[in-house]
Amino acid sequence: MRNCKSFKPSVDYNSKVLILGSMPGVKSLEEQQYYAHPQNRFWKVMNILCNEPKLHEFAYDLKLKTLLKNNIALWDTIKTCKREGSLDSGIQNEIPNDINGLLKKYPNIKTICLNGNKSYSALKKYFPDLLQKYTCYKMPSTSPANARYSLNKLIDKWNLIHAFMC
């Protein structure tokens, strides 16, 4: 079992939408970058939401700056866990991030989007009150393991947060 630790949040005081993953996968942990696996469709979905057709090709720091420019914050529901591989189903001994603390510090965030089932179930388990206090959406995972959703279908589903970014 590998000890996994999430990254610091990418957030600023203008952020209105918080996207929460579960825990970065092996490639992301190695690269120390959110959604670093080349087959993860997260950045391609963000291409459309941020109106930046080549966002997925940007340098990592510019990707994060582009999200912030579009009022999108990024973090994970899980702070630490043990896991073999990258699958959420392998997560054990999870400890949540301080989502409440982040939301208190950044009061402009009103919408939370949960990237996949594990992120949603962790939020529901550790922070059930947030599901009532905030507009929360369980989004289909952008992971390559979620083969049920084509890129176009993911974009269609994720497009609903566009209205909350302004």
Residue 86: domain span: 2-164
User: Are 101 and 70 in contact, with CB atoms under 8 Å apart?
Assistant: no
- Print burial letters for 116-154: b (CB count within 10 Å at least 16), e (below 16): bbbbbebbeebbeebeeebebbbbbbbbebeeebeeeeb
| Predicted pLDDT at 15 | 98
Q: Residues with catalytic annotation?
A: 40
Q: Rounded to an integer, what distance in angstroms lies between the CA atom of residue 20 and that of residue 40? A: 15
What is the total count of domains within the chain? Answer: 1
What pLDDT tens digit does each residue of the chain (166 aa) get?
A: 788 899 999 999 999 999 999 988 888 888 999 999 888 999 999 999 999 999 989 999 999 999 999 999 999 999 988 888 776 667 789 999 999 999 999 999 999 999 999 999 999 999 999 999 999 999 999 987 887 889 999 999 999 988 887 7
**DSSP-derived 3-state class of residue 70:** coil
Residue-wise pLDDT tens digits, 107-127: 999 999 999 999 999 999 999
| Predicted pLDDT at 36 | 93
| Predicted pLDDT at 2 | 83
CATH of the domain at 75: 3.40.470.10
User: Are 115 and 19 in contact, with CB atoms under 8 Å apart?
Assistant: yes
Q: Rounded to an integer, what distance in angstroms lies between the CA atom of residue 32 and that of residue 4? A: 11
